[in-house]
């Protein structure tokens, strides 16, 4: 597929925790451009800054300094309401721990983002059913999380992430709790979403997961150490 305009850009982004001598820099001057429609993996050792980067990209946290732009909008210039709208409508989150609500069915969990977006009941149900079918869970709509395997729970989480038709998918160690078969199922879904035009960003420590992306960004000590595409180092 064709990768075109910029979806996200970080310029000299820092994220510091604490003050004075006890301050810790989780991100130390990160510059990163993510084109629209790219499938990107972010890798690095524990403490490299991957989770902090994810929180910034997902508008779950604000940079201590530097600039985050999403689709040409500087996030720090937006109201809290607009940022919340971006999180709910433009970003689809997938987490390692699934984050499903145990008391809700698969259908109910997938409907949640649309409840926050004030989508009507009939449309919510129609779109949630379509999303569950898209991830291969037709017939499991009424099952609760404890009635589903880990791989099925993650597919429910993916369906929930895509039901608002987000601009990009942000996945944090999405296969960390899955066996090899379930991992393959989830990665194929990401590839299908990417093929349909979504920007997919996966935070991972698994080489085989990173190998499925178009581009890999390697982080170390809060910085982007290098990036590469198809095994070739980029300048």
Domains contained in the chain, number: 1
pLDDT at 3 over 50: no
Q: How confident is the model at residue 44 (pLDDT cuts 50, 70, 90)?
A: very high
- Assess contact for 204 and 128: CB atoms under 8 A: no
Asked whether residue 93 is domain-assigned, the answer is yes
Asked whether residue 234 is domain-assigned, the answer is no
Least confident of 125-129, 155-159, 193-197, 227-231: 227-231
Asked whether residue 166 is domain-assigned, the answer is yes
Asked whether residue 1 is domain-assigned, the answer is no
Asked whether residue 35 is domain-assigned, the answer is yes
* DSSP-assigned beta bridge partners for residue 70: 8, 73
Which pLDDT tens digit goes with each residue over 73-116? 899 999 999 998 888 888 999 988 899 999 999 999 999 989 88
- Assess contact for 178 and 153: CB atoms under 8 A: no
Average pLDDT estimate for 19-24: 79
Average pLDDT, the chain: 90
CATH of the domain at 181: 3.40.50.300
d(CA 58, CA 121): 27
How many other C-beta atoms are found inside a 10 Å radius of the C-beta of residue 206? Answer: 16
Asked whether residue 235 is domain-assigned, the answer is no
Q: Containing domain of residue 177, as a range?
A: 6-228
- Assess contact for 151 and 176: CB atoms under 8 A: no
- Nearest CA-CA partner of 66 in 23, 91, 31: 31
Asked whether residue 204 is domain-assigned, the answer is yes
* DSSP-assigned beta bridge partners for residue 54: none
Asked whether residue 77 is domain-assigned, the answer is yes
């Amino acid at each position: 597929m064709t990768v075109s305009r910029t979806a996200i850009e970080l310029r000299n982004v820092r994220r510091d925790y604490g003050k004075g001598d006890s301050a810790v820099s989780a991100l130390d001057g990160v510059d990163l451009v993510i084109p629209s429609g790219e499938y990107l993996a972010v890798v690095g050792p524990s403490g490299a800054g991957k989770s902090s980067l994810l929180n910034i990209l997902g508008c779950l946290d604000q940079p201590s300094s530097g600039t985050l732009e999403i689709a040409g909008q500087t996030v720090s210039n937006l109201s809290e309401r607009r940022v919340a709208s971006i999180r709910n409508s433009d970003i689809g989150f997938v987490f390692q721990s699934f984050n499903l609500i145990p008391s809700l069915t698969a259908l109910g969990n997938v409907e949640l983002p649309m409840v926050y977006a004030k989508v009507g009941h009939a449309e919510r149900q129609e779109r949630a059913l379509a999303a569950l079918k898209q991830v291969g869970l037709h017939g499991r709509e009424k099952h609760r999380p404890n009635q589903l395997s880990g791989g099925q729970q993650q597919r429910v989480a993916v369906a929930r992430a895509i039901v608002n038709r987000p601009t990009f998918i942000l996945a944090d160690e999405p296969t960390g709790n899955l066996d090899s078969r379930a991992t393959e199922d989830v990665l194929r879904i990401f590839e299908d979403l990417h093929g349909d035009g979504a920007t997919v960003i996966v935070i991972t420590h698994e080489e085989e997961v990173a190998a499925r992306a178009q581009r890999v960004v390697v982080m170390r000590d809060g910085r982007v150490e290098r990036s590469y595409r198809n095994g070739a180092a980029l300048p």
